[in-house]
């Protein structure tokens, strides 16, 4: 049997493949990494702050990568403006440097709970709110290097992501020269930081897209809008140096970066951003058992279907007396597991979103998937290709936006993010 239709563009369509695995779950050729986003209690950043405290902007890597997941986030991409009188020539290195210098100074102040030094333009929206664990993270898209006159410095790993089966991407919500991730435990603090950066960019860059998300403010593993505990199998970079080296770029060759890592990228990362709409009307109509089989975990406590507690490793070899795998062949946790993908590892820090109703009356809601890795070619890409070959969850989601950015190393006191690249 099939379990619910897959909807695209407001229409329903039947499943295309036969039953696979326990409980008769249909597999579709579309991929997603929906249920493995970041665990809010996963430590990893030496600048970690208690809820509401300050997370230092300066450091060897940018905050917002290994930092615990805050309750509110805004993800945005901007395009650099052409310099006056030179249409099509790109912003130039000087213009890009000036913007990142201004942004870094403002971010450093705001993460300390101070107003930005912007000539009195600040309206005081966040006054008295404190730092609220605010982090501001900057990334660079492929076009940044062309427009800044740095085409030869663009990393090979920043190549465009390939198309995946059943993607329904909106070009207006993808790409961008600059990436900004703003996250905080207070919604006003987060929005104020985003608005400040947009204001400071006027004349230098224009906003291409913004996506906003939320999660619980309390610690522990959070549930996504499908009701599943979200982030159980995330890596622990604070306690495992090998996993840390798969998230932050190093010259040790731990990822694919190898020993030729430029100084501006040492300690940096790559981030994949995907907007994944969940077909909640279909999902919520399924029996609870089918939802658990699609994921491979129990809804109540997040434990794998092979038993134990939430953190118990899934036994992917376990089978029923009739030989059928306990965790279905197309269950999400099986296909997304490092064992299924040559050890591919990502650190996922996703947020849920709800943007009201679509014209057809269905919820415009889902997951802002944010995955960090030292090299997308050995992180995101093998996992997504694997999921595209039959993830049981694929029929209940639609990938609507996608982008890839390289994230420079952190800035020391007195520096700005990207300085080593732009002033080399």
Q: Which residues are catalytic?
A: 230
Cα distance between residue 328 and residue 313, in whole Å: 15
- Asked if 125 and 188 count as a contact pair (C-beta separation under 8 A), the reply is yes
In 3-state terms, what secondary structure has residue 317?
coil
Cα distance between residue 349 and residue 151, in whole Å: 30
101, 235, 237, 379 from 243: Cα distances, Å? 31, 6, 5, 11
Cα distance between residue 138 and residue 200, in whole Å: 14
Pairing of strands 347-348, 205-214: unpaired
The residues near 74 (Cβ < 8 Å, ≥ 6 apart) are 180, 181, 182, 183, 190, 191, 193, 194, 210, 211, 212, 213
Cα distance between residue 301 and residue 310, in whole Å: 6
Cα distance between residue 225 and residue 210, in whole Å: 20
Which one-letter DSSP state was computed for residue 165?
T
The residues near 285 (Cβ < 8 Å, ≥ 6 apart) are 4
- Asked if 238 and 253 count as a contact pair (C-beta separation under 8 A), the reply is no
- Asked if 147 and 80 count as a contact pair (C-beta separation under 8 A), the reply is yes
Cα distance between residue 93 and residue 89, in whole Å: 11
- Asked if 150 and 421 count as a contact pair (C-beta separation under 8 A), the reply is yes
- Asked if 41 and 220 count as a contact pair (C-beta separation under 8 A), the reply is yes
14, 43, 229 from 64: Cα distances, Å? 40, 12, 21
Cα distance between residue 49 and residue 55, in whole Å: 6
- Asked if 373 and 270 count as a contact pair (C-beta separation under 8 A), the reply is yes
């Amino acid at each position: 049997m099939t379990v619910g239709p897959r909807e695209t563009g407001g229409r329903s369509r039947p499943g295309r493949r036969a039953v696979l695995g326990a409980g008769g779950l249909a597999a579709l050729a579309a991929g997603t990494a929906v249920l493995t986003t970041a665990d809010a209690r996963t430590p990893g950043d030496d600048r970690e702050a208690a809820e509401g405290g300050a997370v230092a902007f300066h450091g060897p890597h940018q905050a917002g990568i290994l930092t615990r997941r805050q309750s509110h986030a805004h993800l945005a991409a901007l395009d650099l403006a052409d310099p006056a009188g030179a249409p099509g020539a790109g912003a130039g290195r000087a213009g890009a440097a000036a913007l990142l210098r201004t942004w870094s100074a403002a971010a450093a102040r705001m993460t300390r709970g101070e107003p930005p030094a912007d000539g009195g333009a600040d309206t005081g929206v966040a006054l008295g709110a404190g730092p609220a664990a605010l982090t501001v993270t900057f990334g660079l898209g492929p076009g940044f290097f062309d427009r800044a006159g740095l085409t030869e410095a663009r990393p090979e790993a920043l190549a465009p992501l390939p198309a995946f089966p059943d993607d329904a991407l909106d070009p207006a919500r993808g790409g961008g020269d600059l990436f900004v991730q703003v996250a905080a435990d207070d919604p006003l603090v987060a929005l104020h930081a985003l608005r400040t950066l947009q204001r400071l960019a006027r004349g230098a860059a224009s906003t291409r897209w913004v996506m906003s998300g939320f999660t619980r403010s309390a610690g522990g593993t959070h549930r996504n809008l499908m009701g599943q505990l979200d982030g159980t199998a995330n890596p622990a970079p604070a306690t495992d140096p090998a996993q840390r080296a798969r998230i932050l770029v190093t010259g040790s060759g731990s990822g694919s970066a190898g020993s030729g890592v430029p100084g501006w990228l040492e300690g940096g990362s790559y981030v994949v951003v995907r907007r994944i709409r969940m077909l909640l009307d279909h999902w919520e109509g399924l029996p609870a058992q089918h939802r658990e089989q699609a994921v491979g975990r129990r809804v109540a406590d997040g434990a794998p279907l092979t038993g134990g507690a939430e953190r118990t490793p899934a036994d992917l070899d376990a089978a029923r007396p009739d030989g059928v795998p306990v965790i279905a062949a197309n269950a999400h946790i099986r296909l997304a597991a490092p064992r299924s993908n040559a050890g591919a590892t990502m650190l996922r820090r996703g947020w849920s979103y709800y943007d009201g109703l679509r014209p057809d009356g269905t919820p415009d809601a889902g997951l802002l998937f944010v995955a960090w890795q030292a090299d997308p070619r050995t992180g995101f890409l093998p996992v997504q290709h694997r999921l595209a070959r039959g993830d049981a969850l694929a029929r209940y989601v639609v990938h609507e936006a996608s982008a890839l950015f390289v994230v420079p190393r952190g800035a020391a006191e007195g520096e700005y993010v990207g300085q080593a690249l732009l002033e080399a």
